[in-house]
Amino acid sequence: MKLAGRMILDKTFTTLTALSVLLLSVILLVVLGPMIYRGSGAVIFRGTVEFRKMQMGLFERGDAEALDAEIAQAQEVRDAVYRQIDEFRQGIDTEELNEKARKIHREFGGELRSNGITGDEYSELRSLTKDIRDKLEEASESQDKALIRRNIEDVLEHQDDDRLKGTLAAGFFPLAANFSKAVENADLAKLSQYTEAIEQVEDILRQLFGPKPGEPTPALARMRYGATRCDQAQILLGKLLWIEKWVQTEPGKPLEKIKTPRSEQFAGTPLESLPGFVEKNLAKMLRPRLTFYWQYFIDDSYNSHYFGGVGPEILGTLLITVLGMLFAIPLGLVSAAYLVECASDNLAVKIIRMCINSLAGVPSIVFGLFGLAFFVLYLLPTFGLPSQGCILAASLTLAILTLPVMIRASEEAIRSVPQTYKEASLALGASRFRTFVTVTLPAALPGILTGIILSLSRIAGETAPILFTGAVALGPVPKSVFQPTRTLSYGSYDMAVGDRVAMMVPHNQYGMVVTLVVLILLLNGMAIMLRGRVFKKLQGR
């Protein structure tokens, strides 16, 4: 009976522990999975012709001839869209219509005179064009569809008039035709609203396809190209197809999102079919293709990470981390060696040890402020250097941050080296220093490497300590350690909280975070492999 109870307890314990491990892995998957999925989208995605155009324009990468051919093919389909819009806009723009009609009438007189037509024929033609002009004007200002139709028909009757053929007055007829096409089925009361709606459509199209051909090249790089990625294009297409509005349906209720199809906005007009046309031909206009953008890890970025990669960030992170470790490792080792080998167990040493232990728990922002006050504001000016955040100050701050971890790990490692090793070395006549360097240190190396791994992961991902001491969100690639740098950790932070442009490209945000995680894993992997080799060598296998 007792045995059975114990076995049940044993089984329960096993199950519980297994469950907790399972739970942990599920949580890890749930948290990391989507992040990695989205982050990998920065490197592997369906890139459009705009992406290739951007790569050529900003990085001079790709096959120029093939790209030109591709752009031309895409442009053909896009032009159809632009043409539809232009025609409709001209059709509904009554002011422009009137002005054009008046201009034609005015200039037609000049043309007639220069052609040597005078007398009755002149006045007859003048009154004819005046009549056409007035009819057009009347139609454009009218809300009565019957009147409009009648007037337009009257105007178009003169289309076959030989006297007007080949003259400026022939310009009346396309105007009239455009107008009639535009307003044929349209709601005339809405005519003034169409202008605004078209502007919205054009704005979306500009985001999709970049600036219209003929428009000046925008100064900002991100305005120069359309949707570079298929997922972006899909979102923009959604905006084109649907109008989203936040509406309060009932008083006191929260706002509700209501989607209406954009084609409704253009009901009855030739543009009604435009969104559908774009949706159907999007692939032809953007030519998406699966792209592996490995240059993401070396490219500089444009317009706060709207385009480009995280090259400078990776470089900065590596620089700061490696430099920080270069400061932290010797300092930590020497301190640990002193605490184990030299210090007697008196009050001062106890206080030092307590301080080290408490320092390990101090929030990192405190170290950041310390670094700002000590390195940036005091030490750098003392040595005649500009008092600005720089790689040196940041790595020194990180070194101080990680020193407690380093010291404690090394201390444990050195302490756990068997006394017999030291005795053997001393008995052979080695000095204490020699013993430490040639026997204790190599034997403690696996433990020390564990400390290094812990420190490395910590400082590679720290943001707060470098916030004021050397990290910037944007800026050139540093040329010396006395310049600030961009880092992955600070970049991720800045993109998440401060940068509105970056918020438009979430894949880059996730990409940066995932890059950071992968970088730390890589660094750790290297250190772990090194530790494994050292350990194997020590064990004689």
Partner 1 sequence: MTPYSATQQGAEQLTSLPRIIARRQEQAGAHDKTPRPRPQAIVNSEGFSLYYGDKAGVKDITMDIYPRSVTAIIGPSGCGKSTFLRSINRMNDLIPHVRAEGRLAVNGQDVYDKRVNLVNLRQEVGMVFQKPNPFPKSIFDNVAYGPKLQGVKNKSELQQIVEESLKAAVLWEEVRDDLKKSALAFSGGQQQRLCIARALATKPQILLMDEPCSALDPVATGRIEDLIGQLKAKYTIVIVTHNMQQAARVSDMAAFFCLGELIEYDTTSKIFSNPSKKATEDYVTGRFG
Note whether 113 binds partner 1 by CB under 8 A. Answer: no
Determine the Cα–Cα distance for residues 53 and 62; give it in Å rounded to an integer. 9
- Which of 87/412 has CB closer to partner 1? 412
**Contact assessment for residue 314 and residue 486, using Cβ atoms and an 8 Å cutoff:** no
| Residue 480 found at the interface with partner 1 (CB under 8 A) | no
Contact between 538 and partner 1 by CB under 8 A: the answer reads yes
Residues contacting partner 1: total by CB under 8 A = 24
Q: Which of 217, 249, 344, 382 binds partner 1 (CB under 8 A)?
A: 344
Tell whether residue 343 is a contact of partner 1 (CB under 8 A): no
Joined together, the tokens standing for residue 374 give: 């000590």
Q: Does 537 bind partner 1 (CB under 8 A)?
A: yes
Which of 438, 498, 526, 533 binds partner 1 (CB under 8 A)? It is 438
> Which residue matches tokens 């290094």?
452
| 350 is an interface residue for partner 1 by CB under 8 A | no
| Nearer of residues 401 and 444 to partner 1, judged by Cβ | 444
How many angstroms separate the CA atoms of 364 and 343, rounded?
29
Token look-up 């032009």 returns 79
Query: Comparing C-alpha atoms, which of 225, 287, 288, 271 is closest to residue 81?
Result: 271
Angle between helices 94-114 and 119-141 (to 10 degrees): 180
Question: Per rule CB under 8 A, is residue 63 in the interface with partner 1?
Answer: no
| Out of 441, 442, 503, 530, the residue judged to bind partner 1 by CB under 8 A | 442
Nearer to partner 1, 4 or 427 (CB): 427
What residue spans of 345-440 are helical by DSSP H?
347-359, 364-371, 380-382, 391-415, 419-427, 432-435
**Using the rule CB under 8 A, is 354 a contact of partner 1?**
no
Residue ranges in 415-434 that form contacts with partner 1 under rule CB under 8 A: 418, 420-431, 434
β-bridge mates for residue 494, sequence order: none
Q: Does 199 bind partner 1 (CB under 8 A)?
A: no
Q: State the minimum distance, in angstroms, from the CB of residue 486 to partner 1.
A: 43
349: contact with partner 1 by CB under 8 A: no
Q: Which residue do the tokens 């800045």 mark?
A: 494
Toward partner 1, which CB reaches closer, 2 or 541? 541
DSSP state of 229: B
Q: Which of 138/341 has CB closer to partner 1?
A: 341
CB of residue 447 to partner 1, shortest distance in Å: 13
Q: Which of 393, 304, 221, 521 is nearest to 312 (CA)?
A: 304
Identify the three-state secondary structure at position 245: strand
Measure the CA–CA gap between 463 and 487, rounded to whole angstroms. 9
- Toward partner 1, which CB reaches closer, 226 or 447? 447
**Residues making contact with partner 1 (CB under 8 A):** 344, 418, 420-431, 434, 438-439, 442-443, 537-541
